[in-house]
Structure 1
Amino acid sequence: MDTATGREQPRRRQARGERRIQQLLEAAASVFCATGYTAASTNAIAREAGVSPGTLYQFFPNKEAIAIELGDRLMHDLRDTYGEALAPVDPATPLADAVAAVVDRLTAFNTDHPVFFALMHGPDMPGGITEAHDALHTSLLGRIETLLASLLPPGTDKADVTRTAHICLGIYKAGLELVLSHEGTEQQAYIQEIKNALTRYLDPLVGDHLGQPVG
């Protein structure tokens, strides 16, 4: 056997396997969004993917394993997203613009991946991803606190920053559920309402710290 050909065959098998896994994960995302995690079944996921249950079981032993893999990939992507969205803000940036930039990036992720909200914030979160979700939540709050430190006046007490971060995340999550339950112009209207709520909440806390020219 040609050595190069021998090396190529495992790579092709690996690539086919990854494509099949991605196909199953996309099918699972569709089923989880439609029925919720508890009501979903491996048979329904296989049917949505257009494969036999036996094919599904070659890659995943059960639906929790599918949810864990899907959740892990989404959380990795979300970390990249909020790493960009929650970077410290230039003091010359108006508050409304700073809030809009964050909300637009985070809602874009969630509207592109509605299954993330269905899995992570639904009433039936798979037990196997609870710990990872809690770690993500803690990390997200930390990033929000870092962002707020660049928004709020210097010397703001750390306990106040932490409390403000919790409120901001709570406002966003409450609004996000409404965003994901609407489409088109109505969805955009709800996104704008989240921006308005956060801007009005933060405005008296930020004061004149933002929107001022530097130098």
Structure 2
Amino acid sequence: MASADRRLTPRRKPRQVRAELTRERILNSAAHVFAEYGYAAGTTNRIAEHAHMSIGSLYQYFPNKDAILAELLVRHIDRGAWTGADRIELTPGSLRDLVRSLVRDAIDHHREDPQLLRIMIEQAPVSSELIEAVDQHGATRVAQLRDLLARHPDVHVQDLDMATELILGTVELNTHKLMATPRAVQADRLERELVDMVTLYLQAGK
């Protein structure tokens, strides 16, 4: 394991319920501290204080705040599955509903705490675990969307693989750019414009 990865690897992988609860308390406290103070001022001392534990106890689970932030981002990515994908109808005239489900899922994923999400994405250190989580999440989303587009009668694109990648990139990058900022746009406006744009693109070859 590279030295950078060792710095980001949690010290303890809890197996007992009590240890897992302690780890979650640290992560939840870190999320609160990073959102309130920012990453630079969100020290491990502040995280430990918010979690009502000693700094020594915190270091039994995480070697530094970089590892905590990376773990928060991995957890965020792991929770980002497209929950409505299995309920999509694939009937003529329903393409807009499919696209709306995809866009709304991305927006909902950014609603919880856009400031914290911005900190996680822009400042989280890169580790092999983080790269693996991002790759796995991306592969799952691509497979889900490609399968739905391939079977939908209203989709007319020349290159389905490229179209799938472009759509996911457009939706996820713009959702992050426009919502995870201090001046976030209204979610309904973002949803409407993204749905219109993607739906028209998918029907363009008709």
TM-score of the superposition, structure 1-length normalised?
0.68
Computing the radius of gyration from Cα coordinates, the structure with the larger value is 1
Cα distance per residue 1:101-135 (max 9 Å; x no partner)? 2222232123236445643x42x342211233133
Task: Quote the residue 2:9 is aligned against.
Answer: none
Where do 1:202-213 residues align within 5 Å? 202-205=202-205, 207=206
Task: Quote the residue 2:125 is aligned against.
Answer: 126
Task: Quote the residue 1:59 is aligned against.
Answer: 61
Where do 1:5-154 residues align within 5 Å? 14-33=16-35, 40-78=42-80, 81-82=81-82, 84-85=84-85, 89-112=89-112, 114=114, 115-116=116-117, 118-119=119-120, 121-122=121-122, 124-128=123-127, 129-151=130-152
What secondary structure, in the 3-state scheme, does the structure 2 residue paired with 1:59 have? Answer: coil
Structure 1 residue 168, shift from structure 2 partner? 0.6
Cα distance per residue 1:142-192 (max 9 Å; x no partner)? 3222222123668965xx111111221122123212133378982332232
Counterpart CA distance in 2 for 1:110 and 1:132 is: 18
Q: State the identity %.
A: 28
Count of aligned positions: 188
TM-score of the superposition, structure 2-length normalised?
0.71
Counterpart CA distance in 2 for 1:191 and 1:98 is: 13
Task: Quote the residue 1:9 is aligned against.
Answer: none
Contact 1:88 1:146 in 2 (8 A): no
Q: CA RMSD in A?
A: 3.4
**More helix by percentage:** 1
The amino acid of 2:61's aligned partner reads F
